[in-house]
Structure 1
Amino acid sequence: MIMNISITSVFVQDIDASKAFHIDVLDFAEHTDITLGDGSYRWCTVLHPSQPELQVHLTIPGPPYSPEMTGMLNRAMDEGGMFALGLRVDDCRKTHDDLRAKGVEFIQTPEDRPYGVEAVARDNSGNWMVLVEPREFTGADVG
């Protein structure tokens, strides 16, 4: 039986810079950072202290992906077309202001949606991060 989701991966351009971004800007904590095998593969995970059972694996595109797929993933990051994380927040407008003050780029300021208040930012690799302050809603709220 599947118990929960324990790891999600985010493609990044630079593991050290992304690790620092997640820890210093988003208030995540380091979990694991080791080099495996012949030194060619790095396993680096961070987690949010309020959700320690979910690790975020920060990884650079490469093998076992083909060179074509690796190139496509790198181009998608360069173009800002990759999705990274959806983050639940308690106050989207305040979190937006706090992260902007730390230099985070936003591509959508906080907006009211039927499901809550949502903003979209970019991580330091250009990936989308969606911030949502959720609220209860029904199908009647969508119009």
Structure 2
Amino acid sequence: MTMNAISRSQVYVLDQDEALDFYVGKLGLEVHTDQDLGFMRWLTVNLPGDRQREILLEKPGPPSLDPATAEQVRELLTKGAAGGFLFMTTDDAHKTYEDLVAKGVDITDEPMERPYGTDFGIRDPFGNKIRIGQMSVQP
């Protein structure tokens, strides 16, 4: 057996409509799937043109969490202690940074030159951390 791709990642969000505003409205991602499954809203986004990899924007709750655990996760998210982590790349880290600052995105780290390229950090409205990097060509 051989695995050949990561197709989905997941981050918890407290409000899926607010998550859409952030991930689509500010970061420029696209809605991949927005479907009411009855027991939950299956809401995924993807980078423009990349329909193979999705990010599930999941509210803590059933079916993956019982009510007590979901409440604990919501509390930890609110405190900024249980957020997920996403890594994205860009062709121009400084321009992307300037665009996100202009849109009012919460910047956690300004662009910095590193051995692998230039990157910076942002945070979504729910405490999930995101690194955006312009990767240099590695030998």
Q: Distance in 2 between matches of 1:100 and 1:10?
A: 22
Q: Distance in 1 between matches of 2:74 and 2:19?
A: 15
Partner of 1:58 in structure 2?
57
1:107/1:120 contact within 8 Å kept: yes
1:80/1:128 contact within 8 Å kept: no
Q: CA deviation at 1:62?
A: 1.4
> Which structure 2 residue ranges, 5 or more long, are not aligned?
none
Q: Distance in 2 between matches of 1:90 and 1:4?
A: 23
Q: Sort the Cα spacing of 1:72 and 1:111 in 2 relative to 1 into closer, same or farther, 3 A.
A: farther
Partner of 1:141 in structure 2?
none
1:28/1:46 contact within 8 Å kept: yes
Q: Distance in 1 between matches of 2:65 and 2:134?
A: 35
Describe how 1:63-142 pairs up with structure 2 within 5 A: 63=62, 64-81=64-81, 82-137=83-138
Q: CA deviation at 1:72?
A: 3.7
Partner of 2:47 in structure 1?
48
% identical equivalent positions: 32
Normalised TM-score (structure 1): 0.85
